[in-house]
Amino acid sequence: MTYHIGQELEGRITGIQPYGAFVVLNDHTQGLIHISECKSGIVQDLKNELCVGKKVKVTVLDIEQYTGKISLSLRQDNMPLAKKLPKNLNLRKYFWTNNHLDYGFSPIAARRDEWVSEALKRIGK
């Protein structure tokens, strides 16, 4: 299933850690509700708020494109409708590498002239 930011889903809590709760959305997808997204206000202990096996209605906050990690929120459900996230946000793209550049494999000699001309332009010759 393809998810999008702002989508409201139903899931089941599968694990609770000090930093958040893990929610299974379907057989192949799991997301995380960070402790700050469990409810408005301060949450001292998640085990007092949530329990494993509980069904919850969550909102997708973010989907990390490369790893597929899904950030979820319980707070969005309690907000007034005007303050909820828009339903048509795009995925955020993170470029930690230059993999998005299509260099491919070629011998250095094949690119040498191009690099020399670029370097000469930069230094003003």
Give 39: exposed, middle or buried? Use CB within 10 Å, 0-12, 13-18, 19+. middle
Instruction: Give me the mean pLDDT over the 102-123 stretch.
Output: 83
> Which pLDDT band holds residue 120 (cuts at 50, 70, 90)?
very high
pLDDT given for residue 86 in this prediction: 56
In tens, the pLDDT along 30-64 reads: 999 998 888 877 888 888 888 999 999 999 888 88
Which of 34, 29, 31, 41 is CA-nearest to residue 17?
A: 34
More confident residue, 121 or 46: 121
pLDDT given for residue 107 in this prediction: 80
pLDDT given for residue 81 in this prediction: 45
In tens, the pLDDT along 58-97 reads: 998 888 877 888 999 988 655 554 455 555 555 555 555 5
Domains along the chain with CATH numbers: 8-93 (2.40.50.140)
- For residue 23, the SS3 value is strand
